[in-house]
Each structure stands twice: as structure tokens, then as C-alpha cells.
Amino acid sequence: MTATIEAPNIAVLCRPLANRRVRLDPIFEAHREPLRAACAADRAIWDIYSTCLVDGHFDPQFDAKLAGAGGQFAYAVLDGDTVVGCTGFYSIEPANRAVAIGHTYLAPSARGGDVNMAMKGLMIGHAWACGFQRIHFDVDTRNTRSIAAVKKLGATHEGTLRRNKITWTGFVRDTAILSLLPGEESAALKVWL
């Protein structure tokens, strides 16, 4: 007899999350202008992102996040009361107990410290609590800083999808696929779970 595995509760997946370092608020209209300013703080980085959140690209992308387009649950990342970026859950597969974390951007002021680790700890711990058993991260292979940050979580590089996505600039990118399973968290991440 095959055991029945209960699907994760996606109804509670996107809710406000907070720890002693950061707060993640589901994106809403009041985040529009603060996020616009945070995204404009590093205009050059957008060339290695699949979408763009500056200039004329910002409002349509923000509206898509508000609407949950593509099944994503988007968060504004707050350091204190300041919006310093965004992130989200996407590729949500309750039947497979799998979810992706991504669409992450942090302003330069929030990089290099513990904001990313604290934010990912919140999201990963919450995904485990909701019943997910696999989290994956899809990263443009040119974005070596993000790949290194995901590996610091304890994630394993599973492989690379070659020429699988056309970015907003028209570049055909390769995508590194990294994953994390319960119990694989790094010691640095466990501090934030």
C-alpha cells in the first residue's frame, strides 16, 4: 500500500514574515516608489537579470508582481522600515512538494551583510513549515555573485540548462539550477531558520 503524502498548504505560503534582521511583506501598492528607488540604486546589474525593474520596465513588472502573474508570490524586502529589494516564491508545485525562490534583487546597501541570509532563512524555514520538501533556485550563469550566495545556503548545483531563457535584453542565457532539501542547510543558514 502506498502512503498518501499531503500536499503543502499554499494558502499560507505568502504571508508577512519577519525575524530580528529583516521583514518580508507581500508586495502591495505602497511598496511601488520605495522599490523603484531601491532598484534604481544599481542600474548596471539589470543586464544579467531575466527581467528589468528600472525606467519604463519598472511599472509593468511591479504590476505583474502585484497581480501574482505567473503564479509568483512576491515580497518587498525591508531592512528596518526601508525597502531594500524584492524576492518571491514561484514555480509552486504542491503535488511535488517543490517551490522555487527567486526574482531576488537587493540594493547595494543591503549586499554583503546578513540581509540575504536572513531573508532566505525566513523563506526556506517557512517553505519547510508549509510542507515543501524541495526548494530550487534558477540563476543566470553570468550572475556568479548570486550563485555563490545560493551555495552558501547549502544548496547543491544540479546542473545547467543551456540557452534556455531569453532575457529582457534579448540575451539567450544559460541557467544554473541549484536545490536545497531539508537537512542540507548550511550552518550559516541554520542561524536564521
In which domain, by residue range, is 162 found? 16-190
pLDDT in tens, 77-98: 999 999 999 999 999 999 999 9
**What residue spans of the chain are helical by DSSP H?**
32-40, 58-67, 115-130, 144-151, 187-190
Residue 2 lies in a domain: no
Residue 159 lies in a domain: yes
Residue 147 lies in a domain: yes
What average pLDDT does this structure show over 175-184?
98
Residue 6 lies in a domain: no
Calculate what percentage of the chain has a pLDDT beyond 90: 88
Residue 1 lies in a domain: no
Mean pLDDT rounded to a whole number for the chain: 94
Supply the CATH number for residue 97's domain.
3.40.630.30
Output the pLDDT for position 112. Answer: 87
* Structure confidence at residue 70 as a pLDDT band (50, 70, 90): confident
Does the structure show a pLDDT above 90 at 152? yes
Number of domains in the chain: 1
Residue 107 lies in a domain: yes
